[in-house]
Structures are given as structure tokens and as C-alpha cells.
Chains A and B, each alone.
Chain A
Amino acid sequence: MNPIDRSPSRLSSWISASAALVALGASGFYSWGALVAGTLGLLLLLSGLVRGSNAAVTVGAFGLFLGGVTAGVQSAPTVPVLVSVTFAVLAWDAGGNAISIGRQLGREADTIRIEVTHVAASGLVGVVTVGLGYGLYRTGTGEQPVAALVFSVLAAVLLIEALD
């Protein structure tokens, strides 16, 4: 007879928190700025998961992402930066999903299948993109003119804008 417990679902919350920890761990060792931004982001994200606040999770994940970028700016190696940014996005995604499942179905319900499916799909996307990007980066260094890079970047910016 108790009201429904609508706090974020457990599994996705744990996945989100772990992903956030990985994101912080990957970038935090390379710069103080990354450590500060990442820690603040992690705390905010955790509080968002506890309270079921989507805004806190989003801002927290953004902090983790900025931590990754800061580490990159301060010449951290490519792999940790990529890992940090990818896991920040995954933490955000899983956290948002946890909150939405909690709101729609509550904690009591059996929601493992949709949680696992969702996280697995997002994780696969992360792995494939990082793999592709990193592969291109490793194979194509130095040979291409700057113009090619600049044009492709411009193309990316404009296409994102067009799709948004």
C-alpha cells in the first residue's frame, strides 16, 4: 500500500556511476584542471542519481566531459582522453535512462532487460566510434594536407548543425 518508489533504477544507476568513475580516472591523472572539473562533475552526477534529477546528471556528465577535454588540452595521450569523453557520455546516457525508468516504472518493476539492452547499444556505439576515430588517426597522420582536415571539420560542424 506504499506509494510507488520512483527513484532511478538500480542497475543503470550503478552503471552510470561506474562509467563516471572511469571517466574521472582516465583524465584526472593528467591535469589538475581535469581532476577538479571531473570530481565536481562526478559528485553532481551521483547526487543527481540519488535524487532522480536529470539536470544534475546532465551537468555532472558535462563536467566530466570538460575534465576529459582539459586533460586533452594539457597534452594528455589520446587514448585516456577518448576513454574519458566516451565514458562521460555513457554515464550521462545510463543516468538519464535510469531516471526515466524510475519515473515510468519505479524500482519494484523488473527492468533489467531494457537497461542492459540500452547500455549495451550505447556502449557498442562508443567502442565503434572510438575505434574508427582512433584507427583513422593512427593510419592517416602527417600524410594529408591541412586543408583536408579543415574541410572535413567544417563539414562535420555544418552537418551536425543541419541535423540538429
Chain B
Amino acid sequence: MNYRRLASLVGIAALGFSLITIVYPGLVAFSLGPSIVSGIGVLALVQALRVVQTRRHESLDEAATPDPELPVGTASPGDELETVLNQFLGSRRTYYHRTRIREGLRSAAVSVLTQYEAYTATEAEEAVTAGTWTDDRYAAAFLGGENAPSPPLRPRLRGIVRREAAFNQGVRRTVDAIAAMAGAASGTTEGTVDIPRRRDSGRANAGADPPQIQYTTATGDEMAQFDDETEAIVSRVSHSTGHWRGVSAVALVGIGVGILVEQPAVLLAGAVGIGFAAYARSAVLSPDSLPPGSVSVSRTLGADRPEPGDDVEVTVTVTNESDRVLPDLRLVDGVPEALAVANGSPRVGTALRPGRSTTFTYTVTARRGVHTFGPTALVARDLTGSVEQERLLRAETTLACVPSLRPLGEPVPLRERATQYVGRVETRSGGDGLEFHATREYRPGDPMSRIDWNRRARTGELTTVEFREERAATVVIVIDARETAYVSPARHTPHAVDRAVDAAGRLFATLSDSGDRVGIAAVGSEPCWLAPGSGVDHRVKARDLLATHRALTPVPTATRSTTSRSRKQLRKRLSPGTQIIFITPLCDEYGGRFARRLDEYGYPVTVVAPDPTVDRAVGHRLSRVARTLRLTALRRAGIPVVDWSWDESVDVALARHNERGSR
């Protein structure tokens, strides 16, 4: 600071001297030798070098804007090989990375062998150790003991040179062999092996996308930062961007070289540099110059209650409320984190005179749920671009998308067990109904229409025909909405919870159309319960719950699911004999356990399992094997499972299931 003050004092003095010499040339008696002149030139060049060095070593300090265009992505099951392996390992844990992989694959192979190949557990262990479980020599050698077949010679030699590659190949061949046995193979042995070096956790961190800057100011606690009064919060006060840093090098080089070579043209070039340097320092964007409320944002939506998949136009108006020109405003609108921008850009760069406003539009694709637009991020710069300030402007808009409930074309496969209400579950007991059940001896009081008159004519006996009684079922549709159920085949496609909610809506409509009493529950981050009921009001409630309940948000919430508590709560609420339709992707142990537990407690469970597995990489394939195993285990336990593959509709999946069930 002192050095600066000294430099400026001496500089002003020198300027004064030069003016004096211009006005009174005679006053300055001493003459300046050429060495002094050269000295000044060299000084200027040394300074220029310093300026250049500063520019080189300091990076620009510009605001990073959020990426609201893309919705929060979801991972695919098996993105992390280790997570899948841990499912096979259970409580066993080994420290070494490679041992863990080998052990995990070993237990996977054993489980598959015992499930599908009629081995007992010990036989399977022996077969894996001996390497006789598969024809693939690589896989056999990878998991096998000392006596297992060895892989061909050439790759073995290659393996000596590149151990990593050999190990990865072993992993890939083994997983393929296991998948082939489980019937979950795709037939390709290609695919990438991306064995993670360290264990990453967290939601949706797979995929090659750059980390998104999330700003979930729309909901949650951050909103509290906005007081009732303030329209904006300053997220970063004025700071230098460094855009013009180093421009004084132009002035210093020009002056230095100009003096040394005595060329007026070069000296004047230095003067150009002085001009720009002075311009860069004229930046005036102190915190006071952009008072709160000087920029306002308002937003209008093109549609009030869109259906999912509709494009909704969003029009944003930016107004300069201050009394000065705002030459450089860069805005990024707070698109809700679940919505994707379909068209246009939610960003704009504009310059506004006092009182003027500008609008920009973009379209978002509507998706089930209530979506609140977050605050608009503003980066305001001065004219020169060397100072900027960041803030968040408040503009709340809500887009509600409540899909209507459409019934299915297929009957819902319910299990035999029902309530006393008339409905569509066909029971084993005789009574009123449509389908023939049995004949019995006539008892006084039986209606005339039920007497088997043909038989009476033939034999003279009086008999009564009974039909299968049809009773209403009480059904609770349980949606698996735990954090781990937010999985999808690709990062930005609808995920398993979306599918589950959609299917739940259709099942609900179908069941309530046929007179069953239907309720809805979810296992997840928040308690979600709609007691079984019927009627129009109930239907509306169900529709709203499915669309807007916080437990079923279209983006995974960060809070951890309290699953054991929600199961206990659910059990307390269920009346005896209630049927459960549990919709879960079955991508971890929990889903199967939940279904079995409820079934054991006496609630007939049917599982509808959307299949989000893919076979891009080894982990994905193994995850598919694990899911198939779970499915088989459930079916063996007597729980019907509707395996709903990703590219078909729930109608098709149910139709296939019904057909198989009737045969």
C-alpha cells in the first residue's frame, strides 16, 4: 500500500514537472542524459514483465453458473460393481480389493449353481473350486483352486505383462459365464470393465457427465434465506474477474520499447495501452451501485395443468428497476431439478436501460409432480467486464402436473383371499356368482332360480346349483420409493419409481373400477399412506397423492430412507387379509425381504417388478443376475412376481403374467 502511494505521489510529481517544462521550457535547467532515458525504458520493460507474470499466474475469477437444463440423473443398477458384489457377499467383508471381487463372484456363481443347476451348496462350492462349473476356461481358472483348468497359454503370457488387463478379462469372462447360467446373458462378451479403484458412494454419481451444480433453493431450507422483504440475495459480492488483468503490459512495453528505439509510433502504441488500462480501472460496480431490487424477474407458464410429456412454455421477464443502465446481465433461470429443458435456453445475456425489460422463453417437458422453479441466478458485470457480482433473484412459480388415472386393459392378478364385500376375487367357497362351483342338496329357502331343474326332470332329485362366490378384495399398493429404487437403464430416462407410480395409478384405477377397496402406501423417505377405500373422493385423493406426495418425488431426495420403521407402520395399518401389490425394481435385497416378510405375516403379496437392469458393463450384468436370482427365490416362496421388462407397458407384462398363470 505504501509502495503504491509512493509510486503515485512520485508519478504525480513527474507529471507536474512535465507540464511545467512544457509551459516554461527554460525553468528546468538540467538536461537529461541518454542513460537516464534508457533507464526509464528498461524500468518500463521490467514492469511489463512483472505484469505479464501476474497474468500468467492468476487465473480468471469468473462466476460459474448452474446447469438447470438437465434433470437430476439416476444411476443404473450395477454401475458400481462392488455394490453388486456386496449383495452376494452378505455380511462377509474382505479387505483387499481383488479378493473382494473374487469372493463376491464366487458366491454369485455358487448361488446361481444352487438355484438353477440342481447343485447343493457344497457341490456347488466343489464345482467352482474344481472349475467344472463352466466351459469357459478363463472363468473356471479365475474362480477355481489349484486343480482348476488353466486359461490358454497366449493370454496367460500376456497376463504376465499386463496384470490389470488379465484380471479384468477374468472378471468379465466369469460374469458372462454366471449370467449365461442364470439365463440373464445377452450373448455378447464385449463390454467395458470398469472396476472402480475406490468405493464411491452417493446418489447418481455414475456416468461420464460432469458433476452438476445443484441448487435446490426451490424447496427445503435454503428458501428460508429469503426474508419477506428482500427480493434477492447476494450470493457473491462484487469482485474482480481479471478480464483486463495484464492490459498495462501493452502500455509498459510500448513505452519501454518506444523510448529505447526512439520510435514515436511505438510510444503512441503505449499510449493506447494507457487508455485501455484506465478504462479497465474505471469499473464501477460497488455493492451500492447495484442495490437489492434493481433487477426483478417474473415468470409465466404456458399451461396450467399439463399432462406428463407435454411441453410447457416458460416466459421469463427481466426488468431493470434501478435508475441506471445495467450493461451486462447474465441470467440463468432456476428450472426445477426434475424437469428437462426441451427447447430454447433458460439463459439470457442482456443489457437494460433504466425501467426497461426483456423477455426470453424456453420450454420444459412436464413430468409428474409439483415442481417449484428456483430463484434465477444473476451475474451482473460492469461495462468493462472486469467486475462482477452474483445474486439469486426470487421468482416463485409452481408447475403442477397431475396425471389422470387410466385403468388397465388387463385384470389385475390378485391372489385368492378376500373380504366379505362383493367384488371380483373368485373364491373357493360357493355362493352367488357367475362361474359354476358345485351342486348340493336342496335346502328349504333356496331360490327357485338356483334349482337344477334338468336334474329334477331326469332323476326327480331336488338340487341347488352353487356358483363361485366373487368377493371384493382389499388391496394396498405399496410402492418401493427408497433412495436405491431410483434406478434407470440410462441416466436421464424415467426411473423405476416413475414406472412404479405410473403402474400404481393404473392398478388403482382398474381395481377400484371393479369394486375393490384400494389403498396406497410407499416405502421411502417419508411416510405415505392412503387407507383402502372406494368412491370418487378416494379416487381423487389417490390421484393427488400419486402425483404430489413427497415420498414419491420425481427426483431422489437425499434423506436416508427409514425402511424398517415404515414396514412396521404399514403392518399396524393393514387389516387382516389385505392383499399387497408391491411394486419394486428388486435391485437390492430389501425388496424381496419385504415381500416375503409381509407374506409370512399373512398378507398375500404380489410383486410387480419393473426391470431397470442393462448389460452395458460387467457390474450391470452381474446386477441383472442378482435380480433374476431374487425373482426366482420369490417365486419359489410362492409369491407371484410380474417381471416387467423396461421396454414394454405394464399391460403387456400383466397380460403375459396372467396367461402364464392360467396355464
> What is A's interface to B at a CB cutoff of 8 Å?
1, 3-4, 54, 58, 62, 65-66, 68-69, 72-73, 75-78, 81-82, 85-86, 89, 93, 96-97, 100-101, 103-106, 108-115, 117-118, 121-122, 125-126, 128-130, 132-134, 137, 144-164
Contact = CB atoms under 8 A, between A and B. Distances in A.
A140 to B, nearest CB: 8
Nearest to A112: B349
Contacts of B210: 3
Interface in B48-79: 51-52, 55, 60, 62-65, 67, 69-70
Contact of A118 (B8, B60, B383): B383
B243 interface: yes
B86 interface: no
Given A89-B276, A100-B241, A126-B276, A164 B328 contact: no
B281 A156 contact: no
15 contacts: A1-B70, A1-B492, A66-B253, A73-B263, A104-B65, A108-B347, A117-B351, A117-B383, A121-B327, A134-B268, A144-B21, A155-B13, A157-B11, A159-B11, A160-B47
Which residue, A113, A147, A158, A160, has most C-beta atoms of chain B within 10 A? A160
Given A81-B268, A113-B349, A144-B22, A125 B275 contact: yes
A105 B8 contact: no
Interface string B370-391: 0000000001010111000000
B330 interface: yes
Contact of B272 (A76, A101, A126): A126
Contact of A160 (B12, B268, B277): B277
B130 interface: no
Contacts of A78: 264-265, 268
Contacts, number: 254
Contacts of B251: 156, 160
B10 A82 contact: no
A76 B261 CA distance: 13
Main SS at interface, chain B: helix
A110 B263 contact: no
B318 to A, nearest CB: 11
Interface of B: 4-5, 7-8, 10-15, 17-19, 21-22, 25, 28, 31-32, 36-37, 40, 43-44, 47, 51-52, 55, 60, 62-65, 67, 69-70, 209-210, 241, 243-244, 246-255, 257-259, 261, 263-279, 281, 327-330, 332, 340, 344-345, 347-351, 358, 360, 379, 381, 383-385, 492
Given A121-B383, A150-B37, A162-B7, A81 B269 contact: yes
A148 B247 contact: no
Given A145-B21, A152-B15, A105 B332 contact: yes
B266 A114 contact: no
B62 A147 contact: no
A130 B272 contact: yes
Contacts of B60: 54, 96, 100
B253 A3 contact: no
Given A110-B360, A137-B264, A157 B383 contact: no
Contacts of B255: 153, 156-157
B15 A106 contact: no
B344 A108 contact: yes
Contacts of B67: 3-4
B18 to A, nearest CB: 3
Contacts of A130: 272, 275
A31 to B, nearest CB: 12
Contacts of A163: 8, 248, 277-278, 281
A148 B268 contact: no
Contact of A154 (B14, B25, B266, B384): B14
B272 A85 contact: yes
Nearest to A163: B281
A85 B13 CA distance: 29
Given A85-B250, A128-B275, A117 B328 contact: yes
A137 B268 contact: yes
Given A147-B31, A153-B259, A157-B40, A89 B250 contact: yes
A89 to B, nearest CB: 6
B269 A69 contact: yes
Which residue, B40, B255, B276, has most C-beta atoms of chain A within 10 A? B276
Nearest to B246: A58
B408 to A, nearest CB: 29
B385 A97 contact: yes
A44 to B, nearest CB: 15
Contacts of A146: 32, 37
A120 to B, nearest CB: 10
B349 A151 contact: no
A160 B252 contact: yes
B18 A159 contact: no
Contacts of A76: 265
Nearest to A9: B349
Nearest to B62: A100
